[in-house]
Amino acid sequence: MVQKITCIGAGFVGGPLGTVLAFCCPEISVTVVDKNAARIESWNSDDLPMYEPGLSDIIAQVRQRKDACNLSFSCEIRKAIVESDIIMLCIDTPTKNHGAGSGMALDLAHIQEAVRTIGEVATADKIIVEKSTVPGGTTSIIQDLLEAVSTGTYNFEVLSNPEFLSEGSAVNDLLHPSRVIIGCQRTTSGQLAAEKLAAVYRRWTPHELIITMNQWSAELSKLASNALLAQRISSINSLSAICEAVGADINSVAEACGTDPRIGNKMLQSGLGWGGSCFPKDVAALIYLARSLGLNSVADYWAVVLEMNEDQQSRFAKRILSCMHGCINGKLITILGFAFKQNTSDTKNSPSKNLARELLREGATIHIYDPMVSEAQIYRDVNASDEQSRRLRIFSTAGEACAGADAVVVATEWDQFKTPDICQAPYETNVAVGTNGMHTKDIQNNGAHHEHETGGIDWASIVDNMYRPAFIFDGRNILNAQYLESLGCRYVGIGHLSKWDRQHHGIFAMAPKLYGMI
């Protein structure tokens, strides 16, 4: 019977995972440890180190158990290791930035440091669970290290149990996982360890969702899942470029493809490209793994997924430039959204970052607003030169950030940026029926006065306060083009042509090229 679990690493995975374990298994004592004292202090305060919907609520519920509270955050790593039956490695595995594989391979230094500590201080058998994302074969490296540094003859069973949570929905993903993968050695002790871990998950996860396999398959499943998801988004984004050229609508194409159950409709939202702490590093790691196995055509195949993502981001920046008459020097462009996706304060590999840098290089003045990312974080990430810093300002409201702008760019899909859902007409329809039964004509007359019912931003007043011509660039395809055009701005989205696009940049301009006339 498992009595105590320690999660090493109090980051995006370890913090929420430890919390959910404690919440779902009141009889198990859960300690989340980290060598970063400031992080631990933050977990022990009301000011958590990250924003995740539902996280503070669930922590509060566990803490309300008072004497029976079974969750603690601590820097006492050694003590926690000694006392635990199961140790979960939730340690960062960033892209290596030096030596062989620099820029591509995963850096396992932090994991190895923690494993060494486990081996050195353990005074009994332990189950070590690899939650971190690692290249195939890492369980064997961990096993070897543990046995080499251990002072006793303890049995260390190393399991691979990759984590599939997404930021912004971490608590929900942990409470309702789509599957739990457990990879173990096909030995009796390996299978017993896997069963012990499975029993913990079964406390809140249907048993049919718990899948066991060998440890190398489990490790590869994680890199494979992320690569396949990133590939899907790169695929839809590649098609968005064709849509813009031929006058098709990527949202319609995604719907048409996504309704085929063999394809499915998830992760088909075209936009500014994927970011975050996982897709970029994990696709790079898969490419590196293939390359180091001598599988060059496999590596080249996945490299295109990465390339396509970079291409989508620079294509969008070029589109902004070309729509704004080829010159943004001295113009004011507001970027709404700096997190890499909605519902998170994480900015790792955020497409907004590259966009801000590119627009600053072109001479624009940049205003940025994000509801969850701190001003200090944005300044750090943009890393502007002294001259560029004078053209960069961060705001605490969208309205102030957009006042007097020549263009507003939506770069993160935050709900509060969405236009009021007053019309669901396809972009090309002239007369359409809105959700409230109004026709487009009525919407044009009345829609601008509708307030956003979900506490979102007031687009009517934003457009009102913009410089003319007022451009809205929808980097996430979350805005209603017709509505914005009815407010008097020029709307430009990704993978579809707005009315303004068609008149000035779109299919008419492309037609001669399409038919080989130029």
Ligand X SMILES: O=c1ccn([C@@H]2O[C@H](COP(=O)(O)OP(=O)(O)O[C@H]3O[C@H](CO)[C@@H](O)[C@H](O)[C@H]3O)[C@@H](O)[C@H]2O)c(=O)[nH]1
| Binding track over 278-307 against ligand X, x by CB under 6 A | xx----------------------------
* 48 interacts with, out of ligand X, ligand NAD, none, CB within 5 to 8 A per kind: none
Q: Using the rule CB under 6 A, is 466 a contact of ligand X?
A: no
Q: Out of 23, 43, 156, 274, which residue is the one contacting ligand X (CB under 6 A)?
A: 274
**CA–CA distance, 475 with 273 (Å, rounded to integer):** 9
CB of residue 373 to ligand X, shortest distance in Å: 14
Q: Using the rule CB under 6 A, is 472 a contact of ligand NAD?
A: no
Beta strands in 312-464 (DSSP E): 332-336, 365-369, 392-395, 407-410
Query: Contacts by 300-306 with C-beta closer than 8 Å and gap 24+?
Result: 302/227, 302/231, 304/234, 305/227, 305/230, 305/231, 305/234, 306/230, 306/234, 306/280
- Is 146 one of the annotated binding-site residues? no
Using only the alpha carbons of the chain, give its radius of gyration: 25
- Is 166 one of the annotated binding-site residues? yes
Q: Out of 21, 90, 158, 174, which residue is the one contacting ligand NAD (CB under 6 A)?
A: 90
Q: Do residues 132 and 164 lie in contact, with contact meaning Cβ atoms separated by under 8 Å?
A: no
**CA–CA distance, 199 with 176 (Å, rounded to integer):** 16
Nearer to ligand NAD, 89 or 198 (CB): 89
Q: Out of 48, 114, 142, 165, which residue is the one contacting ligand X (CB under 6 A)?
A: 165
Q: Using the rule CB under 6 A, is 227 a contact of ligand NAD?
A: no
Give the residue from 122, 123, 167 showing the smallest Cα distance to 142.
122
Q: Using the rule CB under 6 A, is 233 a contact of ligand X?
A: yes
- Is 173 one of the annotated binding-site residues? no
CB of residue 144 to ligand NAD, shortest distance in Å: 18
Q: C-alpha distances in angstroms, 277 versus 167, 299, 518?
A: 9, 21, 43
Q: Using the rule CB under 6 A, is 13 a contact of ligand NAD?
A: yes
Identify the DSSP state of 272: S
Please count the CA atoms within 13 angstroms of the CA of 58 that sit on its side-chain side.
Answer: 23
Give the containing element (helix H, strand E) for 344. Answer: none
Straight-line distance from the first to the last Cα atom of the chain, in angstroms, rounded to the nearest whole number = 74
Considering only residues 333 through 352, tell me which ones interact with ligand X, judged by CB under 6 A: 340-341
Q: Using the rule CB under 6 A, is 493 a contact of ligand X?
A: no
**CA–CA distance, 311 with 317 (Å, rounded to integer):** 10
- 7, 278, 323, 402: which is the annotated catalytic residue? 278
Tell me if residue 278 is catalytic. Answer: yes
Q: C-alpha distances in angstroms, 418 versus 244, 411, 458, 490?
A: 22, 12, 10, 16
Give the residue from 371, 347, 343, 342 showing the smallest Cα distance to 357.
347
* 93 interacts with, out of ligand NAD, ligand X, none, CB within 5 to 8 A per kind: ligand NAD
| Binding track over 242-281 against ligand NAD, x by CB under 6 A | -----------------------------------xx---
Q: Out of 70, 72, 93, 309, which residue is the one contacting ligand NAD (CB under 6 A)?
A: 93
- Is 341 one of the annotated binding-site residues? yes
**CA–CA distance, 480 with 448 (Å, rounded to integer):** 12
* 91 interacts with, out of ligand X, ligand NAD, none, CB within 5 to 8 A per kind: ligand NAD
* 34 interacts with, out of ligand NAD, ligand X, none, CB within 5 to 8 A per kind: ligand NAD
Q: Do residues 457 and 466 lie in contact, with contact meaning Cβ atoms separated by under 8 Å?
A: no
* 279 interacts with, out of ligand X, ligand NAD, none, CB within 5 to 8 A per kind: ligand X
Q: C-alpha distances in angstroms, 371 versus 51, 269, 368?
A: 11, 22, 10
Binding residues for NAD(+), as ranges, are 34, 39, 93, 133, 167, 281
**Catalytic positions, written as ranges:** 278
- Contact residues toward ligand NAD (CB under 6 A) are 8-14, 34-36, 39, 77, 90-93, 110, 113-114, 131-133, 163, 165, 167, 277-278
- Contact residues toward ligand X (CB under 6 A) are 133, 163-167, 226, 229, 233, 267-269, 271, 274-276, 278-279, 340-341
